[in-house]
Structure 1
Amino acid sequence: MMSKMAVDEDERRARQEAHWLVREFGAEAPLYAAMKAEKAIEQKDFGRCTRWKRVLEILAEKPSSELRRGAAAR
């Protein structure tokens, strides 16, 4: 069983990745996250795949206007 601290660290890292993707790619951020998840699956790195899946969930929670603003802020 994973400790709460490990889960919190995973969540923090996923949110950090989502924020970076929005800042770098704006509305394209979910596409890049999906590509990262696919690459992790190909490499059979299911822990990393789980993190990228969480990044996709976080990105899905953001309104599209916020994603576009992220790209404009570059």
Structure 2
Amino acid sequence: MLDDDERLARQEAFWLIKEFGAEAPLYAAMKAEKAIEQKDFGRCARWKRILEILADSRPVSSARAKSAASKY
């Protein structure tokens, strides 16, 4: 079961993908940077988690998949 913070981060990440597509991580990184500039580290942590979710949800390219498979 997910806590509210995790659920909201996932919702935000998937909304960003829907709204911005491949540019979603860039948008999230800009938001995290702005939070750092404003010394709002709680908000920065949320955007960092959103970036992690976006990175995990990206489809693996065939070249990266072949490279990873060759290591095993």
Q: Common fold, TM-score beyond 0.5?
A: yes
State the partner residue of 1:3. none
Q: Where in structure 2 are there 5+ consecutive unaligned residues?
A: 61-72
Trace 1:1-74 onto structure 2 (pairs within 5 A): 8-64=3-59
Name the SS of the counterpart of 1:44 in structure 2.
coil
> So what's the TM-score if we normalise by structure 1?
0.74
Q: Max radius of gyration: which structure?
A: 2
Task: Give the TM-score normalised by the residue count of structure 2.
Answer: 0.76
Deviation per CA, 1:4-63: give whole Å up to 9, x if none.
Answer: xxx811101110110110010000000000000000001111000000000000000012
Q: Distance in 2 between matches of 1:46 and 1:8?
A: 19
Cα root mean square deviation, aligned:
1.5
Higher relative contact order (CA 8 A, sep 6+): 1
Deviates more, 1:36-45 or 1:56-65: 56-65
* Sequence identity (%): 78
Runs in 1 of length 4+ with deviation above 2 angstroms? none
